[in-house]
A and B are shown apart, each in its own frame.
Chain A
């Protein structure tokens, strides 16, 4: 089975930096994804990690430690439009098409 845990809610200030953590316990691992979901909309892809380390894409970075079963999503220079839910998802080792999502972290960015 798979357990994927994230904080339920976070609040941050415009222009600041926020880190959203994700821990996972899986029987197999073949990659970790972060998705952004605005209220009433579909999830959209943000980042992918399969090896340990940091992946940077503009204002967003994602880190993975496979030995610790841990990832984080780092958002820099926060903007009001970054208010959304952020979903951590893990892909199964044995079935590349099986991806399990965490419950998501609802981020509120305040002026």
Chain B
């Protein structure tokens, strides 16, 4: 069974469009994240949700809006797509609390804006 899944895996769209990426985890984790990995392979955190509450909101454009209907899902909606939004977007999840816990990443969504 897939622990963290994302759809779609590939997304090609034109500038100005609105698109969504979905993420689901079946690990029972309380915390979910969205990361952006650009062409230089730098992995940057965008959002973190803990049990449906936003706890990190990095300085990303407000065109990006995360939505968490329940703690197993964290979707990412992007309005008015721009060329610079082209990247791989990774969803991840982790248990809450201190200690030796790592983040489990989804397979990624490669977004190409033309």
Q: Are A and B co-members of a single complex?
A: yes
**Is A103 a contact of B97 with CB atoms below 8 Å?**
no
**Is A41 a contact of B107 with CB atoms below 8 Å?**
yes
Given contacts A43-B43, A87-B43, contact A99 B107 (CB under 8 A): no
Given contacts A33-B102, A104-B41, contact A97 B90 (CB under 8 A): no
8 Å CB contact of B98 from A43, A85, A96:
A96
Q: How far is the CA of A42 from the CA of B42 in the complex (A)?
A: 13
Q: How distant is B98 from chain A, measured CB to nearest CB, in Å? A: 5
Q: Name which residue of chain B comes closest to A31, CB basis.
A: B100
**Is A48 a contact of B100 with CB atoms below 8 Å?**
yes
A67 within 8 A of B: no
Report B-chain residues with C-beta under 8 Å of the C-beta of A99.
Answer: 45, 103
User: CB within 8 Å of A: which residues of B?
Assistant: 31, 33, 35, 40-45, 48, 50, 55-56, 90, 94, 96-98, 100, 102-108
User: CB within 8 Å of B: which residues of A?
Assistant: 30-31, 33, 35, 37, 41-45, 48, 50, 85, 87, 95-101, 103-104, 106
Give 17 pairs: A residue, B residue, CB < 8 Å, sorted on A: A42-B90, A42-B108, A48-B100, A85-B41, A95-B56, A96-B97, A97-B50, A97-B55, A97-B96, A98-B45, A98-B48, A99-B45, A99-B103, A101-B35, A101-B42, A103-B40, A104-B41
